[in-house]
Amino acid sequence: MKRRVVVTGMEAVTGLGNNLETTWDGLIEGKSSVRDLSEYLYDWCRSRIGCKPKGWKLGPNILTEKDEEISDIVALYAIDAAARTWRFHEWENNKLYNYDPHRIGVILGNGSGGMASARKIHNRMQEKLGAKIGPYLLVGYLGNCIAGKVSILLGAKGINYTLQSACASGTHAIQMAYNEIAYGKQDVMITGGCESTIYDECLDPFYNGKAITNNNDPETQPRPFDKNRSGFVAGEGSGILILEEYEAAKARGATIYAEIVGHGATADAYHIIIPDKEGHGLAKCMELAIEDANISPDDIGYINAHGTATKRGDVAESLAIQKVFGDYKVPVSSTKGAIGHLLGGAGGIEAIFSIMALYKGILPPTLNCDDPGFDLDIVRYKGREADIKYSMSNSAGFGGSNGVLIFKKV
Q: Spell out the alpha helix ranges (H) of 103-186.
A: 115-127, 135-141, 144-154, 169-182
Scored b (16 or more CB within 10 A) or e, 115-144 reads bbbbbbbeeeeeeeeeeeeeebbebbbbbe
Which one is catalytic: 167, 194, 285, 369?
Answer: 167
> Rounded distance, CA 175 to CA 198, Å?
27
Cβ atoms of 34 and 49 closer than 8 Å? yes
Q: 3-state DSSP call for residue 362?
A: strand
Pairs from 31-37 (Cβ < 8 Å, separation ≥ 24): 31/338, 32/218, 32/219, 32/337, 32/338, 32/367, 32/368, 33/235, 33/338, 33/339, 33/340, 34/218, 34/219, 34/221, 34/222, 34/233, 34/340, 35/218, 36/216, 36/218, 37/198
122 is catalytic: no
Q: In the annotation, is 167 catalytic?
A: yes
76: helix, strand or coil: helix
Cα 249 from Cα 257, distance rounded (Å): 11
From 89, 172, 280, 306, active-site residue: 306
Is 306 one of the annotated active-site residues of the chain? yes
Residue 270 corresponds to which amino acid? Answer: Y
Of 139, 120, 163, nearest in space to 67 by CA: 139
Query: With contact defined as beta carbons under 8 Å apart, do 405 and 289 qualify?
Result: yes
What are residue 401's DSSP bridge partners? Answer: 267, 397
368: alpha, beta or left, given left = phi > 0 and alpha = psi -120 to 50? left
Catalytic residue among 172, 285, 341, 369: 341
Q: How far is CA 267 from the centre of its chain?
A: 19
36, amino acid identity: D
> How do strand 377-378 and strand 362-363 relate by DSSP bridges?
unpaired
Q: Which amino acid is at 398?
A: F
Active site residues: 167, 306, 341
